[in-house]
Amino acid sequence: MNIVVLAAGMGKRMRSDLPKVLHRLAGRSLLAHVVDTSRTLAPGRIVVIHGHGGERVRAALDAPDLAWAKQEPQLGTGHAVMQALPFLDDAVPTLILYGDVPLTRADTLRRLVDAAGADRFGLLTVDLAEPDGYGRIVRGDTPPGDRPSEDGRGPVLRIVEHKDASSAERAIREVNTGIMVVPTPLLRRWLAALSNDNAQREYYLTDIVAMAVAEGVPVAAVQPAAEWETLGVNSPAQLAQLERIHQRTLADTLLEAGVSLADPARIDVRGSLVAGRDCHIDVNCVFEGTVVLGDRVRIGANCVLRDTTVGDGTEILPMCHVDSAAVGADARIGPFARLRPGTRLADDTHVGNFVEIKNTSLGAHSKANHLAYVGDAVVGERVNIGAGTITCNYDGANKHVTVIEDDAFIGSDTQLVAPVTVGRGATLGAGTTLTRDAPAGQLTVSRARQTSLPDWKRPVKTPKIPKE
């Protein structure tokens, strides 16, 4: 099939300089959701119609499998599809989607395409309790001898836009979603016959339904499994509504897979989250990019994980931020820990409160439990990094590596001025500033000699003289 995605609208009600289709839902733009769903249908080509903020839209989504057509001026949905005609293959039907309707399931679209086949008109409709603003589906009686539709309704005759509808037509609850499948040669002919003689002075794509009926082309109407699949975004409030709907759907999928969620209404997945058996996720956690949790992983409240893998049996305590890291099995992270990109923690490692680790490997059974910064370092196994330790990895121009070999003990309030190596089994005394390599198996201490002054007096404040 061909797929045409309409993404040229300005989105005035968004009250934003950002093109409407670039507003984000679950961490991705509205248009990206539609394009990704389109790709799962394996179309011959995808044509995106852009207009308002068009170059910005194209820059955000451009890919070799997308064709782009600009709609300028913007004279309605029919006029938008006209811009795609040079890119369409007449040998296959054309599916028309909308860049601000992000949650339509691929299975629903497949049912629509299958119902239309190669020579019928496929139309996605939905029943709404409050259909104001939507085009109404006007149906007729089923002719004698003809089989009624699956829902028992008569054949589709036409679509009437809300502003052009009579009182009786506005009482209809079945509405047009705008999503349709049309035989491409017929689409070309019907678009050429469109008129803008209506209240909006626009070329309505929906007018081609009546043309199909007039020519005796069967119209197959299909409805989605859920109403929210057809909801579009025209305002920040609608975007927020869809965000919560989508997140609850993702949460339900996790629950069905056996993940324990403290509150399914308080989790945000902005990408892909794969979790093993017996995982538990507390409230207000955010997962971005690709996150993979092993078995028996526990994530505490208010954590953010991005592009991270977590091994079996690991616990991440509340208030942690983990970005582009790999955490081994049976580790303990946090609370209030930050793992920055390039962090690689082996099994049974401990990273405690207010510890920041960046571009560092931490060997098995090693720990940094309190108030430390470890950056650009290679840390061996069974290493203890004391509170207040800092790897001084940046000289103002370049980053340098600190190497701490197996079984080393780093005392509290130590500064390791890279490049420097701490030998296997070495001990650094508390307060040491290490500027040269520390020999293996020895104690290295660098601190000023302690003295006491018996006659020293603590300064006192000078009394203030009152102003006369």
Per-residue burial over 51-63, b = 16 or more CB atoms within 10 Å of its CB, e = otherwise:
bbbbeebeeebee
Q: List all residues 6 or more positions away from 402 whose beta carbon is below 8 Å from its beta carbon.
A: 374, 376, 377, 378, 391, 393, 416, 418, 419, 420, 421, 422
Per-residue burial over 84-101, b = 16 or more CB atoms within 10 Å of its CB, e = otherwise:
bbeebeeeebbbbbbbbb
In total, the chain counts a number of residues equal to 468
Amino acid (1-letter code) at residue 390: I
Rounded to a whole number of angstroms, the CA Rg of the chain reads: 32
**How far apart (Å, rounded) are the C-alpha atoms in residues 342 and 356?**
12
Q: Compute CA distances 56 → 5, 80, 251, 419, whole Å.
A: 16, 18, 32, 44
Among positive and negative, which fits the CA dihedral 53, 59, 65, 67? positive
Structure tokens at 239: 């975007």
Q: How buried is 259 (Cβ within 10 angstroms: 0-12 exposed, 13-18 middle, 19+ buried)? A: buried
**How far apart (Å, rounded) are the C-alpha atoms in residues 292 and 287?**
10
Per-residue burial over 173-202, b = 16 or more CB atoms within 10 Å of its CB, e = otherwise:
ebbbbbbbbbbbebbbebbeebeeeeeeeb
C-alpha dihedral, 169 to 117 to 187 to 138, nearest 10°? -10
Per-residue burial over 217-244, b = 16 or more CB atoms within 10 Å of its CB, e = otherwise:
bebbbbbbeeebbbbbbbeeeebeebbe
Residue 321 annotated among the catalytic residues of the structure: no
The candidate with the shortest Cα–Cα distance to 2, out of 113, 111, 141, 76, is 113
Out of 52, 280, 365, 370, pick the active-site residue.
Answer: 370
Tell me which residues are annotated as active site.
370
